[in-house]
Amino acid sequence: MVVVGAGFGGLSTVKGLRRADVDVTLIDRHNYHLFQPLLYQVASALLDPSDIAHPVRSILRGVPNCHFRLATVAGVDFERGIVRTSTGDLEYDHLVLATGSATSYFGNQALAGRAYGLKDLGEALALRARVLDVFEQASRTRSPDERRALLTFVIVGAGPTGVEYAGALSELVHHVLKRDFPDIDVEGVDIVLVEAVGSVLGAFAAGLGRRAEAALRRKGVRILFDHMVSEVRDGEVVFASGAHLAAQTMIWTAGVSADTPPGLAGIERTAQDRIRVNPATLEVVGQPDVYAIGDVAACPGPDARPLPMVAPVAIQQGQQVARVIAARTRGEAGPAPFRYRDRGSMATVGRNVAVAQIGPLRLSGLLGWMTWLFVHLMSLVSFRNRLLVLIGWAWNYVFYDRPVRLIVSPTPPSEIAGGRPTLP
């Protein structure tokens, strides 16, 4: 069988089949598993990429019936049972699609070319470098207008990612960059959180959203409700109302869509390009023995709406698919229909402040923050990741320091061959 995607859902499936009589090939275009919920901390110079990513082959050491292939999927031939990849074709009897999600700009390609996303390591590193670079530029310019635009950061989307990054960016500016750039008055830095509706964290209880909003305002974040971005020009953000805002950096956290592989002709899709599945077995509608899980799957929940695109959904769906496939290989009746068990939602606004809703329980402030810390720390894939993240958090908490303030970009081979100086 073949599993496409080494995210939460794909790894959950593979681990659930480690004692089953199946031969599994896991495909991913990266050789690491990424803990996406902490990507914003890489972008805000708190954590190093290796703190939240772990090599897939290392994770699979305890799964003897799984083989990893670093490749991209070019298409699927459902009739012949073949996955076409950049490194050759693979036959399958069971196929699991667990490819996750990608940033959605709602078809606005101009935004896609000018806004920074926060869905993978490359985007997080690019955003980190951008923030540090504009501070370097601002320290050199003598034009107040240019400096104001350079130090204006527009974050579009007040969901968990937007809220968490806004809080982290504010702390980076006021606790760290204030000391790095003594010639810049950080009170003039404008962090603007833009939301199309009238509240932050719309998926949370209203009271928690209001607490998160109040915490952001205390951190100096400016919030614009009922605003929609229509265009981004050089040094300017344009809203649907016609209003303009001079800003050199825009971060887009306003939407995601399923990151489905190409070549899935005939598959039923829903909103956000998600794949329609059988809610009991998670099989793709019309394609027996082909499963879709996690962000890529449109699986209805108790309220008939698709389940949220979050890690716990992917993990539980991966476990269900593993049970279904294991039962079928043994010739047994399948397990009980899939039922998602909501473990709650949480978001942090920064130091000592987070909100969490776990069933009927509502937490905020320090207690919510400690809950957020524990859950995210224990969700990391390895002990090494947990230890490094804990050390990073402790260092930042005690010393108000973000140690990974590096502006890094890859050096193309052509530049190396062109005679750039190297160390002896």
**Cβ(192)–Cβ(224) below 8 Å:** yes
3-state SS class at 228: coil
0.85 surpassed by pTM = yes
Topology alike, domains 2-29+71-103+256-329 and 109-254+345-399: yes
Mean pLDDT along residues 170-193? 97
Please write the tens of the pLDDT for every residue from 365-388. Answer: 999 999 999 999 999 999 999 999
Active-site annotation holds for 236:
no
Whole-number pLDDT of residue 380: 96
Q: Are 299 and 275 in contact (CB under 8 A)?
A: no
Q: What Rg do the C-alpha atoms of the chain give, in angstroms?
A: 23
Has residue 255 got a pLDDT over 90?
no
| φ, ψ of residue 62 in degrees (nearest 5) | -95, 10
The pLDDT, as a whole number, for residue 389 is 97
Q: For the domain covering 109-254+345-399, report its CATH number.
A: 3.50.50.100
Question: Is pLDDT at 108 greater than 90 in this prediction?
Answer: no
Residue 5's CB is within 10 A of a number of other CB atoms, namely 29
Report pLDDT digits (tens) over 397-411.
999 999 899 998 777
pLDDT category at 415 given cuts 50, 70, 90 is low
- Residue whose C-alpha is closest to residue 191's, from 174, 179, 206: 174
State the DSSP code for 260. P
What's the pLDDT band for 276 if we cut at 50, 70, 90?
very high
Comparing C-alpha atoms, which of 56, 19, 276, 252 is closest to residue 155?
252
Q: What is the pLDDT of residue 424?
A: 43
pLDDT of amino acid 233? 86
Residue among 61, 44, 41, 60 at smallest CA distance from 52: 41
Confidence of residue 106 (pLDDT cuts 50, 70, 90): confident
Within 8 A by CB and 6+ apart from 131, the residues are 43, 44, 45, 153, 169, 172, 249
3-state DSSP call for residue 246?
A: strand
From 123, 164, 195, 283, active-site residue: 164
2-29+71-103+256-329: CATH superfamily: FAD/NAD(P)-binding domain (3.50.50.60)
Q: Which residues in 92-186 belong to E strands, given as ranges?
A: 95-97, 101-103, 152-156
Grade residue 416 by pLDDT with cuts at 50, 70 and 90. low
Contact 25, 1 (CB under 8 A): yes
Q: Residue 418's pLDDT is what?
A: 56
Total Cβ atoms within 10 A of residue 240: 12
pLDDT band at 269 (very low <50, low <70, confident <90, very high): very high
Q: What is the mean pLDDT of the chain?
A: 94
Q: Which two tokens stand for residue 197?
A: 């509706």
Could you tell me the residue ranges of all domains in the chain? 2-29+71-103+256-329, 109-254+345-399
Q: Which residues contact 164 (CB under 8 A, 6 or more apart)?
A: 40, 347, 348, 349
Q: Percentage of the chain surpassing pLDDT 70?
A: 97
The conformation of residue 79, written as its DSSP 8-state character, comes to T
Contacts 24+ apart (CB under 8 A), 199-207: 199/158, 199/225, 200/158, 200/162, 200/163, 201/158, 201/159, 201/160, 201/163, 201/347, 201/355, 202/158, 202/159, 203/159, 203/308, 203/345, 204/345, 204/347, 204/355, 204/357, 205/357, 205/362, 207/362
* Extended beta strands in 247-287, E state: 249-252, 256-258, 275-276
Contact 153/202 with Cβ under 8 angstroms? no
* Rounded CA separation 147/184 (Å): 9
CA angle 176–374–400, rounded 5-degree value: 15
Summarize pLDDT for 295-344 with one digit per residue, the tens.
999 999 988 899 999 999 999 999 999 999 999 999 999 899 999 999 89
Torsion, Cα 393 30 165 175, to 10 degrees, reads 40
Q: How far is CA 165 from CA 38, 129, 191, 346, 349, in A?
A: 10, 15, 10, 14, 8
The torsion defined by the Cα of 365, 228, 304 and 282, in degrees rounded to 10, comes to -90
pLDDT attached to residue 422? 46
pLDDT, tens digit, 9 for 90 and up, residues 118-164: 999 999 999 999 999 999 999 999 999 999 999 999 999 999 999 99
Q: What is the pLDDT of residue 218?
A: 97
For the chain, percent of residues with pLDDT exceeding 90: 89
